[in-house]
Chains A and B, each alone.
Chain A
Amino acid sequence: MGSSQAKPLSARLKSWPMWMFMTIVTVCLLAVGAGRESGPLTQQERIDVITKRLACPTCDGESVFVSQASAAVNIKNEVARQVASGQRNDEQIVAYIEERFGGRVLLVPRATGFDSLVWVLPVSVLVCSVAGLAAAFRRWRREQGLVPSDDDRAMVARLLAEEPEDHDEVPW
């Protein structure tokens, strides 16, 4: 028994090989799921997919797919016509509608040009915030000690040199 006794499940789960194994399995499953071919779509499915990507130009936050507004119905008809003609793929049909009505007709902003700021800015703000917090925490931890850094000494020396009054006595 003794050393040969198996570890309990909770202990095994906490070990790093188990975490590594779970991470690899998760990544593999995600990769398989993302790359899986779902097969060809019917014309109606294509129309639905495209119109779900387009915003009704006269409504607030509704897609062309759900809206019954005149402009949305017109766009839905146009998408149906273009899908039926088979001359354009989904991206080209979306681009055609965007060219006519402008970028406001896209429910999901493009990841290129000025629109890419929608994707880039939140990530940048998050990264900067985390970095700023990390720096602040490190500084606060350092300041908890009573040993000043060389920077602290230099700064205080400079400030003291600027003080015209007597500064021998520290009031606090």
Chain B
Amino acid sequence: MNDRENLAVVNVASVARSRRSSLIAAAVGVVVALFFVVLVVSSPEDRETAASPLLGNPAPVVKSTTLDNAQFDLSRRRGSWVMFNFFNSTCVPCRQEHPELVAFHEAQTSVATPTELYSIINDDSDNAVRAFFDANNGDWPKVRDDDGSIAVAFGVAKVPETWIIDPNGFVRMRFIGAVTKDLLTEKVTELQAAFEGM
């Protein structure tokens, strides 16, 4: 072969290779585009309840005092359904959900297995919390968490959060964000039914 023919062969081969490269690039592009479509189309999990490694496990030790200066020890609440609501009187969602909690708490007085509701005070002063409850009702114990140990034990970074603990002291449900009376009633009823069936 002379130089001209060699050049022609090399050129044809390189054209064929560039076609192969184009195919590979197109395949990679399709895969990337598919990832992009999945990211755009998929929506975040729309769940009412949230995950936590504590779910199904014994609740952390909670010992503190209430705003009425009574001792509070979660382990002494065994036998009762317990609900913790992490709360701050300046947090807007907390203020918005408050009427729902009041309604839920009032409804619990007429059910066979009432759930005990406790507010866990998160980064707030006694006086501010007292003033808020005086103005907005809510006749349930408010538990101090001055050093934040209860919030850390439950992994609470933002309020409001609501947790349900069963009569055996196991964590059963976690709600991140504001809750409603209907949602709490529905979930508590489900949990109690499952618990009685165990």
* Chain B residues packing against A (C-beta within 8 Å): 3-14, 16, 53-54, 122-123, 147-149, 151-158
By DSSP majority rule, is chain B's interface helix, strand, loop, or mixed? helix
Across-interface contacts of A75 in B (CB, < 8 A): 148, 152
Q: Does A81 contact B (CB under 8 A)?
A: yes
Contact yes or no, A71 B158, CB < 8 A: yes
Q: How far is the CB of B7 from chain A (nearest CB, A)?
A: 5
Across-interface contacts of B156 in A (CB, < 8 A): 71
The stretch among A28-36, A42-50, A95-103, A114-122 that forms the contact with chain B is A95-103
Contact yes or no, A170 B5, CB < 8 A: yes
Contact yes or no, A152 B152, CB < 8 A: no
* Chain A residues packing against B (C-beta within 8 Å): 57-58, 70-71, 73-75, 77-78, 81, 97, 99-102, 143, 146-148, 151-153, 155-156, 159, 170, 172
Which 3 residue pairs of A and B lie closest in terms of their CB atoms, listed nearest first?
A: A74-B148, A100-B155, A152-B13
- A23–B28 Cα gap in the complex (Å)? 41
Across-interface contacts of A78 in B (CB, < 8 A): 148-149, 152
Across-interface contacts of A146 in B (CB, < 8 A): 3, 6-7, 10
Across-interface contacts of B148 in A (CB, < 8 A): 70-71, 73-75, 77-78
By DSSP majority rule, is chain A's interface helix, strand, loop, or mixed? helix
Across-interface contacts of A70 in B (CB, < 8 A): 122-123, 148
Contact yes or no, A153 B9, CB < 8 A: yes
- A148–B7 Cα gap in the complex (Å)? 8
The chain B residue with its CB closest to the CB of A76 is B148
- Counting chain A CB atoms within 10 Å of each CB, the highest count among B13, B147, B154, B158 belongs to B13
Across-interface contacts of A159 in B (CB, < 8 A): 12, 16
The chain B residue with its CB closest to the CB of A102 is B155
Q: How far is the CB of B74 from chain A (nearest CB, A)?
A: 16
Contact yes or no, B6 A71, CB < 8 A: no
Contact yes or no, A71 B157, CB < 8 A: yes
10 contacts between A and B (CB under 8 A): A70-B123, A77-B147, A100-B53, A148-B9, A151-B13, A152-B12, A153-B9, A155-B12, A159-B12, A170-B5
